[in-house]
Chain A
């Protein structure tokens, strides 16, 4: 018999450890499956709320961009009629790049040279306006009485008003001025802004006056003709607009003309049913009361299928409300489709609107951010419970392994490894499940725009985060009971059962 000196026990190779762990999972397959399902469901929940928030945000952004594009003609029609106000200028200009055409146009109208300075001033003004607008009514009333929008800045011009304003502001704890720059007192920078406000306002008003003059000149030049007509039929109108001082690119003008055509076409088509005879014929064809024949009925019911449209065109030509060959069925159906697309875009924009999205976690809105946090906690508790159970019910096995000479670190490793394995598999399944449910739900709620607005990159990052969250939560939940089990003397562990 060899006498053994007592030494430190060597560590087991990783391959053996993994083999042992996988064997253990295989044997307790059903139990492991249940743990995995718990992780899956928890991660699916987490992933689902994350995906829905992301998609909502993306759809919101996408549809507002699309709508702005679709409404380019309406934007220009409004612009060529109305010069706007100081507030509308601040809001619009603050969102523009200072190199953009629109900003240059403003600079030209206002006859200001220093682009950088005025751009900064406008952004500051927009920030302060946002600050006052997001305040509740009571606080605003205390601070600036009944002044609203940019009139607040006018109201605060006299020094004594400023003094009382800052005094009141220091009393209201929940409200503090936005920070403009690091290291500069917000109060000082607001005072500085108020000092420069009159000149900014003067510049904007100058631009508005110049614009009004330009619009007046333009309409006199064309003898008060309707804008829509001019856009459609006057070849030289683009040059006239540019001469008046407005900046519009050729591509934009092209789009404006196209959309104006659509608008004009819609008007003609809608006008075509204003006569009693047309209404009666439509009513008898579609079995409706003549009073129910409205423009809405026309778009939603009649202009949906080619056959109906063809019938309508022949009837309208008979009744001489449409001139012969003016429209083919295809163009009308196309018009109806683009109208519908626009409606669905506005619908998804409305649905995807998130409250307070400007200043909350990931731009997800306060409610979604909170939901995400709660789901993370629920997820963590669920996984912790599952892992705690798996470890405690294996105390006897742990004790046996320790009797056979297993190191504490080995016990820790097999449990952490098992948790990581279950966390990975559960996390991946959970992500897939959450993704399917989230995208599906959003598809139902917001329409097909989801597929075009979705950004795969963001979703992939979110998926990775969710999988990692699954692994980390599972491992964290396994560490405590495993540590406890591995530290116990073998017999104490057996006694616990």
Chain B
């Protein structure tokens, strides 16, 4: 694992892939205004593995949705590859979601009436890939997550871990540059969660995909390049893995 990580040369390729400028989001319901984000400025580099942490209600998921182009900010801007997301038309946004970004959700969100393979090939169909090529690539992706034998199963016939692995295969369908994971391990037990994390790490290392994870899982800290803490709708702290590891070992030491 550490070898693979060393192969990544972050210093030579500090290209900014996602940048937010004074990002704000308010939910207004009648007279009550809830401020979910109060001005977030973050830069995320290509091929990075980022963990976003924070207590629930901190605006973590909101931030996550903003940078994925799944929700529109109240004010401020999100740049993906230096393209302002707010400027994009609906078909261009669809294009962005289809090919640039892959999404992994806490509740998997697979299409219930499709088999594993169909789920994986649906984004490729949207991208205009011919059916035969899509099937071939779909099988490769299922192989990557270790579910080649179960391609004909429907989500209801699979366990949570297997469903999440299908979701990962699906998110990789169009070779995205960014993977957005919203608490991918929250609904899984320790062991299956580890499988998912291993796959994510491998994807990050081998394919150089930028991974952004909203998570509560402390195992993430061990693999991520940087950690972003969000508290009360703002960035609390940004730390690299090395700093965190020192802290963690301190905590463990104290506990011991």
Contact = CB atoms under 8 A, between A and B. Distances in A.
Contacts of B177: 1, 4
Interface string B191-234: 00000000000000001100000000000000000000000000
A275 interface: no
A7 B95 contact: yes
B83 A403 contact: no
B103 interface: yes
B127 interface: yes
B58 interface: no
A9 B71 contact: no
Interface in A396-417: 396-397, 399-408, 410
A12 B126 CA distance: 6
B72 A489 contact: yes
A24 interface: yes
A444 interface: no
Contacts of B92: 6-9
A17 to B, nearest CB: 10
Interface in A1-53: 1-4, 6-10, 12, 16, 23-24, 26-28
Given A6-B96, A9-B126, A10-B128, A27 B70 contact: no
Contacts of B83: 6
Interface string B66-110: 000011100000000101000011111011111110010000011
B70 A491 contact: yes
Given A400-B109, A405-B123, A406-B126, A8 B71 contact: no
A300 interface: no
A314 B100 CA distance: 105
B111 interface: yes
Contact of B113 (A2, A24, A405, A491): A24
A9 B88 contact: no
A408 B118 CA distance: 21
B125 interface: yes
Contacts of B122: 401, 404
B22 interface: no
A273 B91 CA distance: 94
Nearest to A16: B125
A27 B113 contact: yes
A107 B85 CA distance: 89
A58 B109 CA distance: 58
A2 B81 CA distance: 12
Contact of B170 (A2, A404, A490): A404
Contacts of A7: 92, 95
A492 interface: yes
A481 to B, nearest CB: 18
Contacts of A10: 127-128
B175 A407 contact: no
Contacts of A402: 94, 97
B114 A4 contact: no
Contacts of A4: 99-100, 177
Interface string B28-70: 0000000000000000001000000000000000000100001
B11 interface: no
Contacts of A403: 70, 97, 103, 109
Given A6-B96, A9-B126, A401 B111 contact: yes
A1 B70 contact: no
Nearest to A409: B91
Interface string B122-143: 1101111000000000000000
Interface in A447-492: 489-492
A490 B123 contact: no
B109 to A, nearest CB: 4
B152 to A, nearest CB: 14
A20 B103 CA distance: 21
Contacts of B72: 489
Given A1-B175, A405-B95, 10 more contacts: A9-B127, A10-B127, A26-B113, A403-B103, A403-B109, A404-B170, A405-B94, A408-B94, A490-B70, A490-B97
Interface of A: 1-4, 6-10, 12, 16, 23-24, 26-28, 396-397, 399-408, 410, 489-492
24 contacts: A1-B175, A1-B207, A6-B92, A6-B95, A12-B126, A16-B125, A23-B113, A23-B114, A399-B109, A400-B109, A400-B110, A401-B111, A401-B122, A402-B97, A404-B97, A404-B98, A404-B103, A405-B94, A405-B97, A405-B99, A405-B123, A406-B94, A406-B126, A490-B71
**6 closest Cβ contacts across the A-B interface?**
A405-B98, A27-B113, A9-B94, A405-B126, A491-B71, A9-B95
